[in-house]
Structure 1
Amino acid sequence: MTDLRDMFTREFWDERYASSHRIWSGEPNRRLVDQVEALAPGTALDVGCGEGADAVWLAAHGWTVTGVDVSGVALERAEEHAREAGVGERTSWLRADVFAGDALPVGFDLVSAAYVHVPPEDFAAVYTALIASVAPGGSLVVLAHHPDDVHTGLRNTELSHLLFGPDAVTSLLDPAQWDVVAAETPTRPITHDGRELEVTDTVVRAVRRA
């Protein structure tokens, strides 16, 4: 197995993206759409944006989006995806290694992170940085694979300690400054290798008080 900390480097993710024409589906995360489709659009920061599906969906729905990823290969694809979708002028792209402590821009009406899993000892630092990027009155949306998914056989058991529930995020939010709108663990059916399975997502949405 690759050394765990190597899996969070630019080199690892550049190589992974370069190994395939497309890693992800190109479709926005349904859980993100569910959480933000009723929000008034503003500025958004999509952390761990990958090939840009969520960022492009947000831009197509009126948001001005900055996509952040550690991989320059992923960002090139995201930029191309945005141009093809006709939202290039509403998107910008930033290569930053949040895991290594690179600073994130701040003051966004929405900060989203979909399936950004990091070692437990780094979790607080990474997610505190995301939280700090949300403007007063803005929203934080975090999606993740829930620890219950270990029982499905879909997740690498050597990485199961990276999965987390809503409490991992909400515990970092100062209750004097934040209102938690959603801290949920919804399930959804999927078909994998001909098997019908049920997976569990972690979904958190919180609003920083103005």
Structure 2
Amino acid sequence: MNSASWNERYAATDLVWSADANRWVVEVARELEPGRALDLAAGEGRNAIWLVEQGWEAKAVDFSQVAIERAASLAAARLGERLSAFTATVGDATEPQGSGFDLVLFSYLHLPEDEWRQALAAGIDSCTQGGRLLIIGHARRNLTEGVGGPQNPAILYDPEEVTALLDGLPVEVERAELGRREVQTDDGTRVALDTVVVARRL
């Protein structure tokens, strides 16, 4: 989907995604000392806003103008005196978005392999030495073993595929696994499979 399509999707409803932070973001970030975070393809900003609430400074980037406007509005409603620690800007996750970030987050960003490589390289460049990249996505194995997410295998990735893309880049993989989430569907409770990868910038 291009930015115009996402603008239409965000404009069509009050909130496309949950207002709560992603469970893997919460799990990983709670083990880290708060610093500066970059949330790429941030959507309506749920993860970046939660990070600010935990003491981080956070920059939310998305290529949808509507999503970024909504993120700014949600942040204004939730952050109070911490609002100055939050910024939201329109941008492309495959391009550099600054430097000096202690945590760079990719949450359900699904791109063709060449663009995904560009995004990972740009994210690594934005990360401080010793900082973390957190990569979360719908696993390809959802197509046969799970539920939810895009149905195009060309933009899905299992943990070992992410680590292969990171091979040779200046990072050390600390965690690479399938995360399991129970979700409610028309057929009852099912399990969605998420790729969860944490890498430390060398």
Same-fold status (TM-score > 0.5): yes
Unaligned runs of 5+ in 1: 1-6
Letter in 1 for 2:61: V
**8 Å contact kept, 1:112–1:140:** yes
- Which of the numbers 107, 114, 125 marks the counterpart of 2:107? 114
1:201 Cα deviation after fit:
0.8
- The aligned residue for residue 11 of structure 2 is 18
Structure-1 separation of matches of 2:124 and 2:179: 23
- The aligned residue for residue 38 of structure 1 is 31
Which residues of 2 match residues 69-88 of structure 1 at below 5 A? 69-86=62-79, 87-88=82-83
**8 Å contact kept, 1:42–1:64:** yes
* Structure 1 residues 17 and 104, CA gap change in structure 2 (3 angstroms): same
Letter in 2 for 1:140: L
The alignment's TM-score, normalised by the length of structure 1, stands at 0.88
1:39 Cα deviation after fit:
0.4
SS at match of 1:24: coil
Structure-2 separation of matches of 1:143 and 1:134: 17
Question: Superposition RMSD on alpha carbons, in Å?
Answer: 1.7
Structure-1 separation of matches of 2:77 and 2:133: 28
1:147 Cα deviation after fit:
0.8
**8 Å contact kept, 1:109–1:135:** yes
* Structure 1 residues 198 and 174, CA gap change in structure 2 (3 angstroms): closer
1:120 Cα deviation after fit:
2.3
**8 Å contact kept, 1:128–1:172:** no
1:169 Cα deviation after fit:
2.6
* Structure 1 residues 95 and 163, CA gap change in structure 2 (3 angstroms): same
1:153 Cα deviation after fit:
5.2
Q: Which shows bigger deviation, 131-140 or 185-194?
A: 185-194
Which residues of 2 match residues 90-129 of structure 1 at below 5 A? 90-99=85-94, 102-129=95-122
**8 Å contact kept, 1:41–1:61:** yes
- Which of the numbers 139, 148, 153 marks the counterpart of 1:154? 148
Which residues of 2 match residues 59-78 of structure 1 at below 5 A? 59-78=52-71
Structure-2 separation of matches of 1:189 and 1:170: 25
The alignment's TM-score, normalised by the length of structure 2, stands at 0.91
- Extract structure 1 runs of 4+ deviating beyond 6 A: none
SS at match of 2:141: helix
Percent of aligned pairs with the same amino acid:
34
SS at match of 1:147: coil
1:190 Cα deviation after fit:
1.6
* Structure 1 residues 153 and 206, CA gap change in structure 2 (3 angstroms): closer
**8 Å contact kept, 2:134–2:199:** yes
Letter in 1 for 2:30: E
